[in-house]
Structure 1
Amino acid sequence: MNKLIKIVLLILFSLIIVMLDDFYMIGTFYFYSLLGFLIFDVIKQKKIILIHIWCLGFIYIILSEVFLIFGETSNLYALNALKYLIIANNFLLIGYYSNTNIKNNIIKTKKFTYNAKKGGAFLLIASILFYVAMTWQEAIRSFAMGREVDTDGESFVIGSVVNAMGFLLPSVTLFYFYHIKKKSLLIPFLFSTPVFLILFMSGSRFPLLFSFLGFFITYQNLNTAKISVKKIFLMSSAVIILLSASLAMKEFRSGIKLNNNYIESDSNYKDFPTYVSQYLSNEGVIDMTSLMMRHFESHEHLYGKSSSFLLYFWVPRELWNDKPTMLGHWFVREYRSGFVSGHSSSFGFTGDLFADFGYFSIILIFLIGRLLRNAENFRAKSLASKNYNVIIGAMLFPYVFFFVRSPITATMTFLGILFFFYLFKRVIFSEVVINKKNSFGNKN
């Protein structure tokens, strides 16, 4: 019944959004609605789950643009784009809550424990050194000149592989030294610090989020001790460090956003959403969605060509000269100029699907909501395992958050993480099966 009430409310909210014609009022109404849901549901659940991360991502990445960029002045296309994004988000939530196939039960599963293989520490440290050696020069260049400096044509596949390694290494290091070797938390944190520094210097908040949040959630789930002053201090410190790094990165982003696209600026207090949005991340999703709506009024939709990039992204451009580029790269250059070769715009979770199928993409977004509900079950089972699988469960949180901004890039990154997850599992750890009946039930 609780889920049915939520679905009815989401439909009602969608109808209200359709009837309203005030851009700022719609943004404010949905901001408070989504924030209220988040606070209420987190208190009720007594934990943070993937659907909470999704809603937080929508506020952080998309709604912040209403208050930072458009304010009370907008155009018809921006209004329709905001309506579409909110209704699409509601359909995703409806898909999530309509998925009732997951039931509480007792599943007979194999339970695993893990031991460190001989030479595991050497391989782990060597992997960290390899990552640093492959990325430090580019990180320093981005730190000094801005993250949107022109690229030198380095292989996309190699770059993606190395980046995925960096996202996962801190969590694997934590599992090895803290959980297996029973060392102090300080040891894996020190070994992971070079990775965090490289990601910070690269100038993008989301890779740092992927890596640091995965490390933090892995620690939280491996640490079975009760909540203590020390644990609260560590949790608070982690949040402060991540927020501080996020704010600091704004100082090192290049002049592309300072010209004519998305100007992030502080302002005097106006209202709560505007004040909070100063600390969030405007990515220009509403702007790009409105531009795309205008484009496809006079152009054919792509009918799968944009979303299918996931099927062949791994093919090096050196082997395929005419390989298509992603929507965020080619579309913005159709209408705007002054971009370096490495710049891409964010189109949000609806972008590629809208480019392919227009408003019919709402159906596919509904199905993404149902998939998110299945991912919720996998997340709960992984975190409950208290073994190596905790890492992949933890990585789902930043994946879902980043998915709101760029689903194809987030999925490409997550596939790379899965590759290294299984690689490290085979070469660094040995798996021991414990035959027990594992009670598992998901009440979310």
Structure 2
Amino acid sequence: MTLQVPEKSKLLIVDDNPTNLGFLFEYLTQSDFKVLVALDGESAIEQVQYAQPDLILLDVMMPGLDGFTTCKHLKSDPSTQDIPVIFMTALSDTVDKVQGFKIGAVDYITKPLQPEEVLCRVQTHLALRNLQKRLINQNKKLLDSQDKERQRSLELEQALKKLQQTQLQLIQSEKMSSLGRMVAGIAHEINNPLNFIYSNASITKTYLEELLHLLHSYQRTYNNPSPEIVAETEAIDLNFLQLDLPKILNSMQVGAERICQIILLLRSFSHLDESEFKLTDIHQGIDNTLFLLQHCLKSQSDRPAIRVIKEYSYLPKIACYGGQLNQVFTSIITNAIEAIDQEKEKWRTGNNGFESNPPTPTIWICTEIKDNANVVIKIADNGSGMNDEVKRQIFDPFFTTKPVGSGTGLGLAISYQIIVEKHKGQLQINSQLGKGTEFVIDIPLDLNEE
């Protein structure tokens, strides 16, 4: 590779000998260099500051500041430290040369000077200096390009995150809207026939009481019934019917009332009749969630019933998005039930059904007020737990450990968004593989609607 020397390079010659100065000045000028001269170290340092030469030819032995001292000064200044320095000296001692290289010189020219040698060394080091500048510039451009790529990558990552959040918000809104329409439809379709059954059950009970009273009057008046009536009475077990019919009507009334309660519970759970942001009873929301999930808590063929231990502290009603908090409770408790179901062998033995003293599948729900400023809700289970890799991704959108088609990976991601973004709180997870999981919800008592 041929080294290129930049055109019209600027040289500074520092020598206290006018003969040497004149000789070098004339020769290097004729070689198409721009040449500056200095007779001592002090004036050389001064010229370098404003002239910024491309290379310095520096005599070692000079009165005042010698070449070594002058070189040290130039190398200690950031504005001049990269200018190549070639010493000119009659010293041939290796120690002196080593000292010169240590303080920053790039080369030595031994006196008496040979013009061709001087020109050759000057051209070589100017070409090396030019190459060094090009490498520095290329490296700078490369670093700038990498910075731009990193910035672009960061912008794309932020855009993707924003897109995912928007997608989650749309999914969440659609889910809540669908839930609202479903509950409203159920309530509308059930309420009319339910009211008909409930009101007629009361009337039927009154009619039955009157008929039974009339039957008793007949029995008192006609106390010697015919054999046909006696046979029919025994066939239908009249005494049992008189006792059981009121019980059946009472059960029908209780069942109708229970259906009414379930409809109210569903409406309360999704907060269909309420402003989205309002004072909410947290404990009622948790209890409603547990009621709706009670079929999952019951004993199964491969595990006993899940015990729920509630440790509620006093909580005032807090201003929040109640329907969305219920969605968080549902998601976390559902995950706890699924984690318990994954540990089926933990609750059983091989041949004898359930163990005599097996561990009990349990969900703990604890509430408290922290520092008079925050509501803390802890939901823990003794299910399968999670490893560190799963914990790192558990709140990522579309991440799921379930088989394909069994889950979307959105429940906990939406829960995280509801707690952190909508309620300005925190949702943390503590889990150990095989030991269970705890979710900690921390939301402020005083949340101003934005």
**Structure 2 length-normalised TM:** 0.19
Larger Rg: 2
Greater relative contact order, per chain length (Cα 8 Å cut-off, separation 6+): 1
- Bigger fraction of residues in helix: 1
**Structure 1 length-normalised TM:** 0.19
- Bigger fraction of residues in strand: 2
